[in-house]
A and B are shown apart, each in its own frame.
Chain A
Amino acid sequence: MDKEYPDINKAIEDVFDGASIALGGFFSCGNPVYLTTALSKLDVKNLIIIAMTMGIGNWELNELLRNRQIKKAICNYPFFRSVSRRSIFEEQLRAGEIECELTPMGTFIERLRAGGAGIPAFYTPTGVGTLIAQNKEVRLCDGKEYLLEKAIKPDFAFIHAYKADRTGNIVFRKTARNYNPEMAKAAKVTIAEVENIVEPGELNQEMIHLPGIYVQRLVKVDRPQIEATIEKPPEK
């Protein structure tokens, strides 16, 4: 079962108008930078993008915003830290051109985890008594209040990984793992851009972070050069 696609554009050619796509990465770390850029060159619109942030550290996502490819964002930390700086996403949100479903970080990843594990919804203590609880079922369990949160099952997940074998078994590197495994499990189709692709048997079987069953397509990429910052996009 060789899952490698020689051409990154071929690997994403079935992305369609209105598709929901989870993009891995935590600020600048572990983002599918090549896949996101390839998506920005694809003629698809009305996308639902599921990602921690909307163009802060994951600068490539701003191209999707500039192209007005995104209809809705599901995220947990969408803005610049300083309120005096406005991102493209914030400008579009202010103009009413894009929707934002804000979800606490732990709830965000658990919604994806649940989506990948056949759990349609779950109760969580996070957000009880806050704006996050609006229009959500509250349930008492052992005398404590919990919110009902629904799973997220994206059409696609784009992830970045350090190493994979051709069957899709994946190893991440350090904190670049972050959201990537659960997004891969939640999505119908997962496309991984990978820095190193090896033959089956070459990875330590005891040290696989994401079993290949969750990964449909692999694309070999060069290790990207990334500056860890949420202050400014890299100079072109």
Chain B
Amino acid sequence: MGKKFEGISRELMALRIANEIPDGSYANLGIGIPTLVSNWTEGRDIVFETEIGMLNTGPLAMGGEVDQDLINASCQPITELPGACYFSEAESFAMIRGGYMDVAVLGAFQVSAKGDFCGWNIPGQRPGHTGNIGGSMDLAVGAKKLIIAIEHTMKTGELKILDECTYPLTAKGAVDLIVTNLAVIEVAKEGLLLKEVASGLTPEDIQSVTEPKLIISPDVKEIEF
């Protein structure tokens, strides 16, 4: 069983997420699809934070701009924007845990109908109960709004949006919005609210690759950019 639907590209997922972040926001982007979000925010009034201890991160550094003392949390050399500032790891996580991040965008292996998600440990892949947690658990509990950016299903076709997560959790009830290559889904009190679907697909198509029963928004529409 392979992937059933193609949907939109990772780049367009990133654009859709960028449009979800209001001007005037402080935001933190995780590894993978979330990193691509900053490709769509030029000219926007959004300040990005990186866990290593910096506000106002700029684009990736090229050639002579590379400075070994200036990297992002994925260990990529970056540049600084006007208004950038540097601080310690403790300060960085005081901001994150303290609720100063308006938006965090993270990847995940699984997301549940209750907004639980997992992104650090697929059982059997690493020895014991270990994995790369990094800053994900702190971002999950600290950010005012948590957006999960994922492919709707695994490459093998296995579902990722589930009634209950089966892998070890990153956080419980933390997710606010799920943006996939197929749909935009809000985690509401009543359950998962399907708000947008990729061009050419129907809400029934999305339900066929989503375990929890979706609530179809009366205003459900095509994913807009």
Contact = CB atoms under 8 A, between A and B. Distances in A.
A106 B131 contact: no
B interface, over-half SS:
loop
Interface in A78-92: 78-79, 81, 83, 90
Contact of B170 (A29, A124, A130): A130
Nearest to A172: B86
A175 B53 contact: yes
B130 A226 contact: no
Q: How large is the interface on A (under 10, 10 to 19, 20 to 34, 35 or more residues)?
A: 35 or more
A94 interface: yes
A130 B75 contact: no
A174 B97 contact: no
Interface residues of B, number: 51
Contact of A78 (B73, B76, B132): B132
Contacts, number: 161
Contact of B97 (A93, A102, A126, A132): A126
Nearest to A230: B75
A193 B155 CA distance: 47
Given A90-B126, A93-B130, A26 B89 contact: yes
A46 interface: no
Contacts of B73: 26
B93 A105 contact: yes
B128 A100 contact: yes
Contacts of B142: 106, 125-126
A113 B172 CA distance: 26
A104 B90 CA distance: 12
Given A26-B71, A126-B138, A178-B53, A79 B126 contact: yes
A140 to B, nearest CB: 15
B125 A129 contact: no
A172 B53 CA distance: 12
B132 A182 contact: no
Nearest to B121: A131
Given A125-B141, A228-B71, A105 B134 contact: yes
A228 B87 CA distance: 19
A83 B137 contact: no
Interface of A: 26-30, 57, 76-79, 81, 83, 90, 93-94, 100, 102-107, 109-110, 112-113, 124-132, 162, 172-182, 209, 224-230
28 contacts: A26-B71, A26-B73, A26-B89, A27-B71, A29-B75, A76-B132, A77-B134, A83-B122, A90-B126, A90-B127, A102-B129, A105-B93, A106-B97, A106-B135, A106-B137, A106-B138, A107-B138, A109-B89, A113-B90, A126-B138, A128-B172, A132-B133, A174-B69, A181-B88, A182-B89, A228-B76, A230-B74, A230-B75
